[in-house]
Amino acid sequence: MSGDAVINAFYSHDYCVRTRNGGMEKLAGVAEAAAQSPAITIRDPGVIDVDHLFRLHDPAYVRDFLDGTPPLARSQNLPWSPALRTAVLAMQAGQLRATEAARCDGIAVNIANGFHHARHARGSGFCTFNGLALVALAHPDYRVAVLDCDQHGGDGTEDFAARLPNLYNYSIFGTSFGCNGGVRSVIDPIEKGRNAERRYMAAVARACTQIRAWQPDLLIYQAGVDCHMDDPLGRGPLSGAGLIQRDQRVFEFCRSEGLPVLVTLAGGYQAFSRTVDLHMNTFEIAAAVYREGIGEPAVAGVAQPVADG
Ligand SMILES: [Zn+2]
C-alpha cells in the first residue's frame, strides 16, 4: 500500500450498544470520525457463522449467551439484551473480515473491542467472546500473534493460547487481571512511577523482538488507550504523545517486517470526545506509516494527532 493509502476499517451500526461504562458507545464516535478521514474506508463486517464460536468456546456458554440465560449470559458484566447479542456477533464477524483485509492490504482495522478477557467457558471484564483467539481458530494454518497494549492483562487470550498452538499472546499492562504468563503467553507488566513511559517503550521493543522470533503470519494489535494517565479505569503511564509513539513503533515494525496487522481498539474510558480523539490518533499514525513507508517522516501531512502532557 502506498501513495493514496486506504485502510479498510470494519464497522456497522450494530456494534454500538449501551453499556455501563461507555466502552461500546465510543465505537460509533470513532467510526464517525474515521469516516471523515480520506485514509480510511468503512466496510461492513458481514455475518459470522456461529459454529466458529461453538468450536472456540464451551458450547454451553455460547448457547446461554445466545439465549440470554443467566448467569453466563451476563458473565462479562454487561446487561444482556438482544441488541448486545447482535453487537457481539457483528464484532466477531468483523474480526474475520478484517483478517482477510489485513492479509490482503497489510493492515486493517476492526472498530471493535470486548475480546481479551473472554475465557473458554465464560465472559469477563466487558468481554463476551474472544475475537482474538477466534482468528487463530478460524485460520489454523496462520500463526497468529497478539500484541495486547490494553492497560489490563489479556487473561482470556492467555487461556486460549494454551489451547490453540497457532496463537501467541504478548501482554503489556499495569493491572494483570489474572494474566500471569503461560504457554505461548508472555507478560510484561509496567509499574507506574519514575521513567514509566520510557520503560513502556522498552517493553514495546521487547515485544517486537519476541514476536518476530515467533514468526507469525498475522499480528493482532490491541491498541488500548486505557493506559493513558487520565483514564479512569486504567490510570496508566502514558501521555497522549506516548500513545502516539507506541503506535508508531508498532506500525513501523509491522510494515518493515511485512507482517500483516489487524488493529482492534480495546479499552479507553475517558470522556467520549477525548477517547475518540485518542483512538483516531492510532488510525492517523497507521495511515501515515503505511502511506509514507519506513524511513520517511511518519506523521507529515496527516491531521495533527492530539498530544498532551
Ligand atoms: Zn483495559
Q: What is the mean pLDDT of residues 120-137?
A: 97
- Tell me if 172 sits within 8 A of 149, measured CB to CB: yes
> Could you tell me the CATH number of the domain that includes residue 128?
3.40.800.20
Q: What are the grid coordinates assigned to 304, written together?
A: 495533527
Q: Is the pLDDT of residue 12 over 50?
A: yes
Q: Is the pLDDT of residue 4 over 80?
A: no
Q: Ligand 1 center to residue 298 CA distance, Å?
A: 27
Amino acid occupying residue 91: M
The rounded distance, in Å, linking the Cα atoms of 259 and 41 is: 21
Q: Ligand 1 center to residue 303 CA distance, Å?
A: 27
pLDDT in tens, 184-222: 999 999 998 999 999 999 999 999 999 999 999 999 999
Q: Ligand 1 center to residue 243 CA distance, Å?
A: 14
Q: Where in the sequence is the domain holding 156, given as residue range(s)?
A: 7-292
How many domains does the chain contain in total? 1
Q: Is residue 16 part of a domain?
A: yes
Q: Ligand 1 center to residue 35 CA distance, Å?
A: 25
25, 146, 148: which is closest to 78 by C-alpha? 25
Dihedral sign for Cα atoms in the order 269, 150, 109, 11: negative
pLDDT in tens, 33-59: 999 999 999 999 999 999 999 999 999
Q: Is the pLDDT of residue 125 over 60?
A: yes
Amino acid occupying residue 126: F
Least confident piece of the model among 22-26, 44-48, 49-53, 71-75: 22-26
Q: Ligand 1 center to residue 265 CA distance, Å?
A: 10
Q: Ligand 1 center to residue 94 CA distance, Å?
A: 20
Q: Is residue 297 part of a domain?
A: no
pLDDT band with cut points at 50, 70 and 90 for residue 227: very high
220, 204, 184: which is closest to 107 by C-alpha? 220
* pTM attached to this predicted model: 0.93
Q: Is residue 300 part of a domain?
A: no
